[in-house]
Amino acid sequence: MSNWDRFLNSFFNARVAWDYLPKIADGFVLTVVLALCVIGTGLAAGLVLAVIRAFGIRPLNWLIIFVVDLFRALALLYFGLPAAGLSLSGFTATWLSLSWVLMAFSEEIFWAGITATPKGQWEAARSTGLGFLATLGWVVLPQAVRMVIPPLTNRTIAITKGTALGSVVAVSEILGAAQAGVSFSFNPTPLTLGAAAYVVLFVPVVILGRWIETRFAWKR
């Protein structure tokens, strides 16, 4: 058998690919569900923290800054949870860990957009009789969100790639399913399938992100 034949047999074995394709497909679906949960929770929590920070209540702001800086530097350690009396499934632990990290980064991004909104926009809105909440919600936030779409999109794509960390805590997402396939088949072809699945998943996401940036990005 030539080197080329050995390479094809190792990484593109048709029999192994056919046997483990359903498992990779299941992992693909689980990865999509996990990514959607992370994005929804992380962005919503980050926006809420940025809005609370806009009220300028110093003790709350100090607490938010501490939490944000903490989770920007360190994700929750899943294996330390049992010692604290908490026992979560691998899916839940991965979802919460990645959501907290995305929350931290998105809060800073949203906050940057709020502070970058010209002060005149606040003053003009308040001069028409709008209260603080109405000004923030109807005037400032729409402009702030539009300004931060590019960095927010990039950060969201980057954090969703972290769903592969779920394989560490026995979540059968794409990488976990591929690694299990390699263990049982003694052939790396499932990893090739996993790589292909990530391409199928994230290339459209990157294209969609670029479209969102060009369609809704702030134009000065």
Domain map (residue ranges) of the chain? 17-216
Identify the pLDDT of residue 2. Answer: 75
CATH of the structural domain 17-216, one choice from 1.10.3720.10, 1.20.58.1610, 3.40.50.1100, 3.40.50.300: 1.10.3720.10
Radius of gyration for the chain, computed over Cα atoms and rounded to the nearest angstrom: 22
pTM score: 0.84
What pLDDT digit, counting tens, does each position of 68-113 carry?
988 887 655 554 554 455 667 778 878 888 888 899 999 999 999 9
> What is the rounded average pLDDT for all residues in the chain?
84
CB-based burial, 3-40: b 16+ in 10 Å, e otherwise: eeeeeeeebebeebbebbeebbeebbebbbebbebbbe
